[in-house]
Each structure stands twice: as structure tokens, then as C-alpha cells.
Amino acid sequence: MTYMFTIDQIKTAHSKVKTGADFPGYVQDIIKLGVIFYETYVSDGHTEYKGKDGYKISSDEKYTNLAIAESSNISQFKIDLKEHQQGKTNYQEFCTSCAKQGVEKWTVNTTTMTCTYYDKSGTEMLKESIPAV
């Protein structure tokens, strides 16, 4: 069976996310839709989603362009990420801190249940396991 999810279905799932603490539940929701991988670009917030059999769909930009720092600050990024995961920042605040710390994008692999953050050179800054709900 091929899953043909829509951006509206993903937006509905994402609407339940208020802070980073809600992220694991969101991942479970999009798995049910058939998402197996996605990439979110910090500069404008658009995301490219992939499903089975080569199915792809992209969201629109979510905000005006954020300038991504040329050099990454992994130690500060880890602090900012932990605060976001604890519910201390909202999505826009998190994206702004990602840009300041040099995060160009993050990817989520729903098969391996990992979220990986990359800098502008494509170097992996941090890979985390997504906790079970």
C-alpha cells in the first residue's frame, strides 16, 4: 500500500506541537500518515517529506529568511535544544537559535527514529534518538 499524505494532514499533526516536548508524539502521528523521512530547512522553515515508493511533498516557507551562521556552535546548540525539548521555547524561538548556532537543517528518519542536525557544510552536528511516546 502506498501512502499519499498531504501537507494539510501534516499541518494537522503539527498543530498539536506547542513545544519540543510534543515532538515525539508528532513523529508518531506522521508515521501513521506514511512519512518515512523529512528535512526541515532553518533558513525559511520549509520541509521536504518523503514516503514510500519515492513519494515526495514539500511545505511552503513558514517565515522570512533567517541568516544561518557561517560557523557552528555545537555546545550552545545542545543547550538551546535541551531547553526546547523541555518546553522552554516555542518553534520560532528554536529555529532562530538554530540559525544563530549554525544549524542549516535537520532531518528526521522515522525508520531509525533519529533526528540529525547539520551545518552549512553538511557536517553532522548532532544525532539524537527520538524517544518513544
Angle between helices 74-85 and 91-100 (to 10 degrees): 170
Lowest mean per-residue pLDDT among 11-15, 108-112, 117-121: 11-15
Domain boundaries, the chain: 7-129
Tell me 53's DSSP state. G
Mean pLDDT, residues 108-118 taken together = 96
Encode pLDDT of 21-69 as tens digits: 888 999 999 999 999 999 999 999 999 999 988 999 999 999 989 999 9
* Distance (Å, whole) CA 36 – CA 113: 10
Amino acid 91: pLDDT: 86
What is the reported pLDDT for 3? 58
| End-to-end C-alpha distance for the chain, whole angstroms | 25
Helical residues (DSSP H) of the chain, grouped into ranges: 7-14, 23-33, 74-85, 91-100
Residues paired with residue 124 on neighbouring β-strands, in sequence order: 118
Q: Which fold has domain 7-129?
A: YdfO-like fold (3.30.1810)
